[in-house]
Structures are given as C-alpha cells and as structure tokens.
A and B are shown apart, each in its own frame.
Chain A
Amino acid sequence: MSLQLDTLAYTNKLREIPPEHKLVFAIVTLAISLFTHPLVQILTALWMGVWTVVYARIPAGIYLKLLIFASFFWLTSLPALILNAVSINDLQKVLSDAWSGIILGQYYIYISRSGSEQTLAIFTRALASVSCLYFLMLTVPFTDILQILRRLGCPILLTELLLLMYRFIFILLKTASELWTAQQSRDGYRTWRASMRSLAILIGQLLKQTLKQYNQFSLGLEARGFRDEFRVWHPRRYRPSQRYLTEAIFGCAVLILLELCRNAGIFNRI
C-alpha cells in the first residue's frame, strides 16, 4: 500500500506544479478547515476531493479507501463521546440532554444530545483536514518535501535522517515481505502456534538483516566518497499553473467569506 501511494505521488497529474504552491495551499486549506463551521468544512472536503481525484487523477477508489481508513479512527472515539452515564440521583439534571437512555442498576446510561452534536462537528472537521493532508500526501513526492525543508534551512541532520528513513523503509518492507512469503510457502502460518513462532522468527531475522544491510550500506556510501554530509543535486522542472493558482486563491477566498458571513449572521441574531 505505501509503495502504491508513493507511486501515485510521483505520477499524478499535478506533479509539475511547484511543490511550494501545493504545500502552502494545503496549509491554508487546513487552517480554514480547523477554524470554520461544519458547512464550510464540508465544502472544503468536497473541494479538496475534486483537487485530488479530478485534477490530480488519483483513482477515486483509493481515495475513498483512505477516507474510510481515517473515518475508522473517528468511529472508535464515537462511543466515548455519545454515551454518557450518571448515577440515578442525578437523572433530573441530564434529562434535557438525553435523547434516550436506559437504567442499569444504579446508573442511567443515555445518548447525549450535545455529545452527538460534538461528534458531528468533529467528523466534519476531521474529514476536511484529512482531505487537505491527503491532497498533500498524494500529490507531493516525499523528496520534494525534503527539498523544501532543505531550502527553508531545516537542520541538515534532520533532512538526512528523513531521507535515509524514506530510503530504508522500502528496503525494510521488501525484506519483511520476502521473509513473509518464504514462511508462507513453507506453511509457517498454518496454526496459531505456528504463526506466533514464525512471526517471532520474522522479527528476529528482520533485525539481523537490518544490521547486515546497515553494514553493507555504509561500505557502499564510503565507496562513493561519503564525506560527513549527505548532499545531492536536485533539478527544478516545475511549471506554475495560472489556472490552478487562480482557482486555489479564489476558492480559499470564497470559503473564508462564507465563514465570515455566517459569523456575521450569528452576531445579528444575538
């Protein structure tokens, strides 16, 4: 899955737009979705969806899967927010807040009205912000983000670490999946006991392989003349697009305006 996402980031239709533009755009929309009301948030989420699926041509299926994946986290926090329990003595105090409830021993367990509203607000906010981040993740390759960090004067140690992590994570994934396949082909996951044993071996082997890999990698680095610092040259082949720039600025302005109007409306009512 992670390799697939990585491939998409390298091959999407917005690849040629300067990464700084996409980064700023994602940050601005993220800020909007954090500070506004549900209506504007839903609009933001839809708009970002259009950017990702229509403009960047990320397959809708994958995008949807990712959104469902994020919603899963929201679902897990659902019970804690909606369900409330009070002692029977306090029943009168919460009656106005309860949608429905049951008495269980000494406790009254009920579905909270304000909790439900809160859950909905969290959902729209999460959806909006996650679609902004997905836009960034799916349209900007990691190396481009590193390049921005370097140019912003991020400490070299940090960018090097990120780069090596990025490079190694795929080697690690490959090694793990190779080991996994080898074990599968020898029926290593037939029973629960066998699975546990195989998994233990896999993890142990992975550590061993990692150490070996590290040793070889440092030889490889030295053979290529490594000197203290890890530097590469990065060509710039980006083309800013007037059309996308206009839409981005105009869209953000509309969203902010909508939010302001809403606020003004609320003030009038008060």
Chain B
Amino acid sequence: MQEFLIEFDQVYYTYPGSQQSALNGLTIKIPSGQKCALIGQNGCGKTTLFLLANGLYKPDSGTIRWRSEPLRYTRNYLSKLRQKVGLIFQDPEQQLVASTVEEDISYGLCNLGLPAAEIKIRVEQALVEFELLSLAQRPVHHLSLGQKKRVSIADMMVLEPELLMLDEPTAYLDIKQTRNLMAILKKIHSHGTTLLMATHDLNLVYKWADWVFVMDRGKIVLEGKPQDVFTERKILEELELGVPLMYEIFCGNFSSEEKAVAQRLQKRMLELYL
C-alpha cells in the first residue's frame, strides 16, 4: 500500500493584498519514497505550494496533512515539521545565512539544540558527502551559484529530512552543474529521502521522475507516471507546456513495425542520456 507524506486537501490560498488566489482548491498527495516532479507555468502556484507544505504560510481554507495528521501551527510542531520537510529555495542566497560554509551547514543543527560534538560530526559528514571540504572555510559570498546551490542542499540534508522539496533547482545552472546536482539527488534518493522537484525542464522530468504532477492556476490538472502524463498531449498543449523532445520523437503515430524500432531506439537513448 502506497503511503503518502504530505497531503493537500482542497487548499485555497490568496496572498495578502492580491486579487487572485494562488492556490485554487489544490489537492495533491506526495507518495513516499518516490521521485516526484511538479511542472506548470510560471505563477501557477508551485512556490506557494512549497511554502505551505513547509508551514511557512497558513492556508485560507482546506487542510494539509503530514503522514495523515493535520498540520498544527504551533511553534514546536512547525519546527519539528521543518526538520522532516526540507525546502530548497530557487535562489540559494535566500537561504544561506551564516558567513562561512561550515557555519552555514551547522546553523540548522544549532537550532535543533544538538550538543557541539554531534554537530561537529554531522557537519563534517555533510562536507564530505557534498564535496564541500575544500570550500568549508570560505565565506558564502565567494562561492559560485552552483556551489551555493550545493551548500543550500547540504544545509537541508544535514537535518536528514524525510521529504526534500526543491524549487526549480536547475535554474541558472550550466550543464555540468546540473549533472552534479542530479547526481547528488540520486544519492539522496537512494538513502531513502522522498523528492519533490518543481521544474520547467521536461526532458529532465521524463528521464528522472517516478511520478509527475501538472499544475495550472493553483490546481493539479494531471498526475501520473511520466509515460502516462505525456500521452495527454492535448491537455499539455492547451496549457502550453508541451511534451519532452524524446517523447515527441519516439511516441508519435507509428506503424507497428516502426514502433518496435522506435521503442528500441528510445531505450538506447534513455540509457545514453542517463
């Protein structure tokens, strides 16, 4: 039986002072242990969803549940929740608070009130795991964007969350940095962390995700395995999202013999691409 980590049930949210609501009866269930992708146009409410899931905003109506238990908006509960649900903002600058890399990684641990000896061990582990050892003593404003991104992921992963949410993690990253990031995410997932990533990169979604959510105007309009979601070409075109190039090429209307070749080619491509 599939377990769900975070569940949104008919959630509405409007930013103070705004006419339009950001979330319009959003219902979503994040399956445990899966690599989930969230796609949708800019301004469709992806970031708002993340902020609500992290307990940073409170819904106007509807309920949000963590492991089937409704969120309580008390200090203690929220701080426990944020330890289990890690959120990586699109702009790492927003999250790096301390002045050096190792201090920054230790920040979340200090907030938990852990003893210094344990903090030391965990920071050092994180430095090794995310290949930040050579940057440990560097001030964060000396780092490149890709490095900052890596630090912000290390910041969250050092708390060992059960769910890691990433808001457009590949934005502004070059190909090498994107590959590094995906390698890190693979490692994180293999250690049992559930991932939820908002992105515009459909090719990435196609090859990476186990489960895809399509969002439009504050609602989920489509969800399922990538192969299934991308067959709904008509809906995706209406939303002006399109389908991945690879899918476009190999899943068109073929005759039966062409289909066999196409499927073999697709398999080869996927292997190469990954």
Pick from B103-111, B189-197, B234-242, B246-254 the stretch touching chain A: B103-111
State whether B97 touches A167 (Cβ < 8 A). yes
State whether A232 touches B110 (Cβ < 8 A). yes
- Whether A166 is near chain B, meaning CB under 8 Å from some CB there, is yes
- Whether B153 is near chain A, meaning CB under 8 Å from some CB there, is no
B82 / chain A contacts, CB cutoff of 8 Å: 222-225
State whether A10 touches B142 (Cβ < 8 A). yes
The smallest beta-carbon distance between B95 and chain A, in angstroms, is 4
Most buried by B among A163, A167, A216, A217: A167
What's the tally of chain B residues with a CB closer than 8 Å to chain A? 40
Question: How far, in whole Å, are A217 and B97 apart by their CA atoms in the complex?
Answer: 8
Question: How far, in whole Å, are A166 and B103 apart by their CA atoms in the complex?
Answer: 14
B56 / chain A contacts, CB cutoff of 8 Å: 219, 222-223
Q: A163-B98, A225-B83 are in contact. Are A232 and B107 (CB under 8 A)?
A: yes
- Whether A267 is near chain B, meaning CB under 8 Å from some CB there, is no
Taking CB atoms and an 8 Å cut-off, the chain B residues in 85-109 that contact chain A are 87, 89, 91, 93-95, 97-100, 102-104, 106-109
The smallest beta-carbon distance between A95 and chain B, in angstroms, is 60
- Whether A55 is near chain B, meaning CB under 8 Å from some CB there, is no
B97 / chain A contacts, CB cutoff of 8 Å: 167, 217, 220-221, 224, 230
State whether A216 touches B94 (Cβ < 8 A). yes
The smallest beta-carbon distance between A4 and chain B, in angstroms, is 11
Q: Closest residue to A222 on the B side, CB-wise?
A: B56
Q: Mark B39-74, 1 if CB is under 8 A from A, else 0.
A: 000000000000100101000000000000000000
- Whether A141 is near chain B, meaning CB under 8 Å from some CB there, is yes
The smallest beta-carbon distance between A41 and chain B, in angstroms, is 34
A224 / chain B contacts, CB cutoff of 8 Å: 82, 95, 97, 107-108, 111, 155-156
Question: How far, in whole Å, are A269 and B106 apart by their CA atoms in the complex?
Answer: 64
Question: How far, in whole Å, are A171 and B141 apart by their CA atoms in the complex?
Answer: 8
State whether B103 touches A225 (Cβ < 8 A). no
Determine the main DSSP class of B at the interface with A: helix
A3 / chain B contacts, CB cutoff of 8 Å: 141-142
- Whether B112 is near chain A, meaning CB under 8 Å from some CB there, is yes
A141 / chain B contacts, CB cutoff of 8 Å: 139
- Whether B151 is near chain A, meaning CB under 8 Å from some CB there, is no
State whether B91 touches A216 (Cβ < 8 A). yes
B137 / chain A contacts, CB cutoff of 8 Å: 10, 237
Question: Which 6 residue pairs across A and B have the least CB separation, nearest first?
Answer: A233-B106, A232-B103, A170-B141, A231-B110, A225-B111, A220-B94
- List, sorted by A's number, 27 A–B pairs whose CB atoms are closer than 8 Å: A6-B141, A7-B142, A10-B138, A10-B139, A10-B142, A143-B99, A163-B99, A167-B140, A167-B141, A171-B93, A174-B141, A219-B94, A220-B89, A221-B97, A224-B97, A224-B108, A225-B83, A225-B159, A230-B97, A231-B110, A232-B104, A232-B106, A233-B116, A233-B123, A234-B102, A234-B106, A235-B102
Residues in B lying within 8 Å of A, measured CB to CB: 51, 54, 56, 75, 79, 82-83, 87, 89, 91, 93-95, 97-100, 102-104, 106-112, 116, 119-120, 123, 137-142, 155-156, 159
